[in-house]
């Protein structure tokens, strides 16, 4: 996955596919044959949903950051953040499905092979973005895995994140081995949200490329500013730039806003990350099931269960 955007603050900003669909909204699509909205409407509703879920996620995280003495100590706050994370992940997957539905509308219902070819090409093109999210959502939906929160914290900082629960050898519950390396890592919200925004632009660019082969390029150079998109970039860019320990060795998703421009880039060539704190505590949230007695937190050795 590669994306690079550097847009001056005074310029209007929208996603690539939005611009093309807006320009060609009078094109004779075949959405009626599938019982679907107009493709532009599909995309608008989808983007509004996923950005709204991201907004709710950040709102929940801000509550966590107000308490560094016991960031996961309030049950209601933990439950709200877990629900917001679950809804956010679902919305990302639903957005990808919506992109496929937009592509379907290019073809009459009887052109099955042509339709399938374009849809598969799109999914293959965004595989790097889709697979990580899809695996999490599938295990939650079909394997009774659960989202569990964790955080590194001390006086003056909280670094929250989550992991997808799985059953480890001996019936121990911990980070799912098919999602988390050595069942000993987790996802920081700081990296997850930045990666999401990079993936949103990346998938929109791929959708635009598919649409262009059938609709041509946008004829109108005028861009309508997407205020919700700008707000999402601004809020993610303002969120702390500190990851979990293992994530510093991975490609960095950059979402930043300075006095001159908004920047979205992956992998980032040059970005300033805050160093991981040398001292602190780790805390996690688990819910008992009436049977399991052994639990494992990420970044802890087997003897720390």
69 vs 44, which has greater pLDDT? Answer: 44
pLDDT of residue 301: 62
% of the chain with per-residue pLDDT over 70: 98
Q: Of 226, 202, 220, which Cα lies nearest the Cα of 14?
A: 226
Q: Please state whether 183 falls in left (phi above 0), alpha (psi between -120 and 50) or beta.
A: left
The tens digit of pLDDT for each residue in 19-40 reads 999 999 889 999 999 999 999 9
Q: Quote the CA–CA distance of 261 and 13 in Å, as a whole number.
A: 11
∠ Cα 94 141 228 (to 5°): 30
Range of the domain at 29: 3-304
Confirm if 218 and 212 have CB atoms less than 8 A apart.
Answer: no
pLDDT of residue 70: 85
Residues forming a β-bridge with 3: 266
The count of other CB atoms within 10 Å of the CB of residue 168 is 18
Query: CB within 8 A of 258, min separation 6: which ones?
Result: none
Residue 69 pLDDT greater than 80, yes or no: no
% of the chain with per-residue pLDDT over 90: 87
The tens digit of pLDDT for each residue in 226-236 reads 999 999 999 99
On average, the pLDDT of the chain sits at 94
| Section 181-192 average pLDDT | 97
Q: Quote the CA–CA distance of 239 and 273 in Å, as a whole number.
A: 12
- Number of domains comprising the chain: 1
């Amino acid at each position: 996955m590669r994306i690079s955007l550097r847009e001056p603050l005074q310029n209007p900003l929208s996603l690539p596919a939005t611009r093309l669909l807006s320009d060609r909204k009078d094109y004779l699509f075949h959405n009626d044959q599938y019982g679907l909205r107009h493709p532009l409407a599909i995309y608008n509703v989808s983007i509004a949903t996923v950005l709204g879920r991201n907004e709710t996620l950040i709102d929940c995280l801000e509550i966590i950051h107000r308490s560094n003495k016991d960031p996961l100590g309030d049950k209601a706050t933990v439950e709200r953040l877990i629900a917001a994370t679950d809804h956010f992940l679902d919305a990302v997957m639903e957005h990808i499905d919506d992109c496929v539905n937009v592509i379907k509308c290019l073809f009459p219902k009887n052109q099955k092979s042509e339709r399938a070819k374009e849809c598969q090409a799109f999914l293959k093109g965004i595989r790097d973005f889709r697979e990580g999210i899809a695996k999490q959502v599938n295990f939650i939906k079909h394997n009774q895995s659960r989202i569990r929160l964790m955080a590194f914290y001390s006086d003056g900082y909280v670094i929250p994140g989550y992991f997808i629960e799985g059953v480890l050898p001996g019936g121990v519950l911990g980070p799912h081995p098919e999602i988390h390396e050595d069942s000993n890592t987790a996802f920081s919200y700081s990296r997850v949200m930045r990666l999401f925004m990079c993936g949103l632009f990346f998938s929109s660019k791929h959708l635009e490329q598919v649409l262009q082969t059938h609709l041509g390029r946008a004829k109108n150079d005028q861009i309508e500013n997407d205020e919700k998109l700008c707000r999402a970039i601004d809020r993610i860019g303002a969120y702390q730039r500190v990851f979990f320990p293992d994530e510093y060795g991975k490609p960095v998703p950059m979402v930043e806003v300075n006095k001159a421009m908004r920047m979205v880039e992956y992998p980032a060539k040059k970005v300033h990350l805050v160093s991981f704190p040398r001292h602190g505590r780790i805390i996690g949230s688990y819910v008992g099931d009436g049977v399991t007695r052994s639990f494992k937190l990420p970044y802890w050795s087997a003897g720390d269960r």
